[in-house]
Structure 1
């Protein structure tokens, strides 16, 4: 369906209840729908928002346009969890229903303050001449999940930034509230981070200034900035659109990067002794808009939109698009950021139906289906191919081409099924330690694959759209390897 601007931005009450039910049925019955990851009940899902812990539960909101697989007028949908794995849908939380968010309740964050949760987000407003005015807005959510918006914006973008000024992360330090935003400078149309401060939260906001992160090139826009403390190391996660690939290598249409530093000085404001080089947060094809926060015990968690701006996917034809990654626990050790599945992911395993293998296996499982976890250790100094979601002829599927002698892992989705974003390549190449064994923990969910390499030293996430009858997992030549495959329970 080709959407006109008017259709994409008409109010939700222009759609009938039956229309929404039909869309939800279509999404639910799509064979390529994921089963143990968060997904839209209908329409489009994008950025995770408001990731937080409040009132004894984990809260995660996400951007939603429920009426089709297009970027229409956005709202926030609300989910809660007791374990960061099983999520319960609480429905619409922030609707685009005021002057200040009339054309979309855009991305933002949440923070527990007292006995309420404060939501801070960008309101997208368009004038009759289609001029965009971004407002930074606030709302309170009580323990019953009721949301009350503040009557007036917290602040608007100053003239030295263009209309691209959004995605506030609310932080608190030494009795002060801070808002970290992504922005585009009016001068030169280049990307930057901007920091604001208030002691009163609901009012009194003023600009501290642009954050010096030690990088001269941040593309033409910074989106979705997130600061977290990871085991005493300052970590800045962000999406620099239009980044020069000579500055940092990436293949996706837009990258999701991170920097680490000794600390984040919010008064300067600057990262203190930051990395000289940005690093891809995910080495795969489809991760963007990652949101991270520190839990009350200090542990850092992150979750991502598995989808990309300006990219279409085969499920668009069934009027739903995109999913949310599993939550990852972040750690910093030996000078590197690690991402690992949260402990409760192991509860999804059908342990009594596990397939274990060792020695020099070829066929691991002929009918693994497309809902499983595979842990495998491939011994050093070997070259070969691991087929996932493959057909009987072993010609179609996702291929992991490994070389533990020279230190390379290639993820190839060219023959998986329906193509995706081929202009940006069908393979991703990871550098791994040479002459060492390779550990992989891999999760498959019908059209989503998440690959954790060497205990989370690297992560690669991808969408794939295979024939759902293809379920073979096999090495294409005898390989010294040990591992276990578990079918996974749906959430």
Structure 2
């Protein structure tokens, strides 16, 4: 038996052994992608190929900590019915022995090409990284081709997460990097055949330009064209909090500008966070056959009390966000749930025209652990308006300050913590609650808050309150499971 076969067998046997413990957890989600066991993090290789969406992910099957990652694999044709596929990559070769790290996928000559970072550490903990290629005829079984890029001069071994695309008759790759001066950077490569790559320099960061001082490492870059603009999404590490911004340990966001494929240059504006919640990192997008730009992200943040999550005792950790379609409106990226998620609804909408005044209220049929809420035509004439879910997460809008707040009870110490943004006005809220996760889309996706939270497993309450008079139209649906 080869080492690759042995690693796959051990991972599958461990998952089977732990299955009953994992499935007993009341915090298992209904309609989010989760690991069968162990730890899930970055989305990888997200692509629609031959009519099927493939979502690979960083997976540590043997524990709920980080380590020598595999690529797990799920597939779907409609974002509602998902299938767990065979392990795509196991860290079996010398150039990836300490992990098959994040990467991307592209179709070429009828085959599926995936690019990923091979992580290698020596006995003293010194790291090296290689950008590697694997090819598949069926989207399930991959033949490893080995490294196609070795680290150029000028960068530390924190050099990873290749994202590849085709443009103007050639292929491009962006890589997240750290310069020798310990500055975060996005690095650009070119190729004519996806095998032979040329280093084209730093695209942005690295101590120069508009975001020259944006942290010590940029992870998971993704450059794409959206409605007349070129958008670079990446995850900087090392930003200091600034008002309501940058409150998590690490961030995920974007800059908007113009990429010149001939010169390999990118002129862009300032950095904006994609998500204002507690748990959002390493987003990756793909353009599907309908022309939509769709995003998945990891619903957590590295080094942010991961091991305090209560799912640990059931031997699993983390999940993806729901899939979101991106739109560019006025130069700003909006996110909306993909329309297919309406097929998760298992009942007709419960509808209410709600008027609140100075007391907390619950409404008939508006409760549950896996629900979708849509509040429209919101009028908060004075004071504040709030929604509390499971007595463990609270959304508050202050009409005087024009501030939206998401509060949750910390799973570390029980203290109430908050994330915030400032609005011009509150028009609508689209909320997805799933046992231990909440995603809030504000004003048609202008702002989004994504977070894990842990109510009492039997608490399905949803309460509404206001300090003065507030009114809105509410619709509520129960949502089914995707597996």
Give the distance between the partners of 1:94 and 1:450, measured in 2 at CA.
Answer: 30
Residue matched to 1:141: 136
1:69-91 per-residue CA deviation (whole Å, 9 max, x = no partner) reads: 11021010111111234321103
State the secondary structure of the residue aligned to 1:316.
helix
CA deviation after TM superposition for structure 1 residue 333, in Å: 1.4
State the secondary structure of the residue aligned to 1:347.
helix
- Contact 2:168/2:261, CA 8 A, preserved across alignment: no
Distance 1:201 1:136, change over 3 A: same
Residue matched to 1:360: 355
Match of 1:431 among 422, 441, 448: 422
CA deviation after TM superposition for structure 1 residue 397, in Å: 2.3
- Contact 1:369/1:389, CA 8 A, preserved across alignment: no
Give the distance between the partners of 2:153 and 2:139, measured in 1 at CA.
Answer: 39
Give the distance between the partners of 2:355 and 2:272, measured in 1 at CA.
Answer: 35
Q: CA RMSD in A?
A: 2.1
Residue matched to 1:178: 172
- Contact 1:365/1:472, CA 8 A, preserved across alignment: no
Residue matched to 1:419: 411
Residue matched to 1:156: 150
Residue matched to 1:309: 302
State the secondary structure of the residue aligned to 1:211.
strand
State the secondary structure of the residue aligned to 1:351.
coil
Match of 2:232 among 232, 236, 246: 236
1:114-146 per-residue CA deviation (whole Å, 9 max, x = no partner) reads: 211100000011223332110100010112622
Match of 2:317 among 317, 321, 329: 321
Distance 1:41 1:49, change over 3 A: same
Give the distance between the partners of 2:242 and 2:448, measured in 1 at CA.
Answer: 22
Structure 1's unaligned 5+ residue stretches are 1-10, 391-395
CA deviation after TM superposition for structure 1 residue 200, in Å: 2.0
Distance 1:37 1:326, change over 3 A: same
Give the distance between the partners of 1:410 and 1:335, measured in 2 at CA.
Answer: 24
1:4-47 per-residue CA deviation (whole Å, 9 max, x = no partner) reads: xxxxxxx8379486543232222222100111110000000000
Residue matched to 1:283: 276
Match of 1:97 among 92, 95, 99: 92
Give the distance between the partners of 1:359 and 1:385, measured in 2 at CA.
Answer: 12
- Contact 2:11/2:61, CA 8 A, preserved across alignment: no
State the secondary structure of the residue aligned to 1:226.
strand
Matched, 1:169 2:163: yes
Distance 1:138 1:421, change over 3 A: farther
Residue matched to 1:4: none
Q: State how many pairs are aligned.
A: 463
Structure 2's unaligned 5+ residue stretches are 1-5
1:199-251 per-residue CA deviation (whole Å, 9 max, x = no partner) reads: 1212x212000013632212000000011211121111111100244599310
State the secondary structure of the residue aligned to 2:421.
strand
1:389-428 per-residue CA deviation (whole Å, 9 max, x = no partner) reads: 33xxxxx3211111234311111103xxx624889x8101
Give the distance between the partners of 2:59 and 2:237, measured in 1 at CA.
Answer: 21
- Contact 1:369/1:468, CA 8 A, preserved across alignment: no
Distance 1:173 1:364, change over 3 A: same
Alignment of structure 1 residues 45-444 onto 2, 5 Å: 45-143=40-138, 145-150=140-145, 152-186=146-180, 188-202=181-195, 204-212=196-204, 214-246=210-242, 249-261=245-257, 263-272=258-267, 274-275=268-269, 277-311=270-304, 312=306, 313-352=309-348, 354-361=349-356, 362-365=361-364, 368-377=367-376, 378-390=378-390, 396-414=391-409, 419-420=411-412, 426-434=417-425, 437-444=426-433
Distance 1:80 1:192, change over 3 A: same
Give the distance between the partners of 1:195 and 1:147, measured in 2 at CA.
Answer: 26
Deviates further, 396-405 or 378-387: 378-387
TM-score by length of 2: 0.91
Give the distance between the partners of 1:319 and 1:22, measured in 2 at CA.
Answer: 11
Distance 1:13 1:480, change over 3 A: closer
Distance 1:48 1:422, change over 3 A: farther
Residue matched to 1:6: none
Deviates further, 250-259 or 85-94: 85-94
> Which stretches of structure 1, 4 residues or longer, exceed 4 Å deviation after superposition?
13-18, 420-423
Give the distance between the partners of 1:358 and 1:474, measured in 2 at CA.
Answer: 15
Give the distance between the partners of 2:187 and 2:82, measured in 1 at CA.
Answer: 33
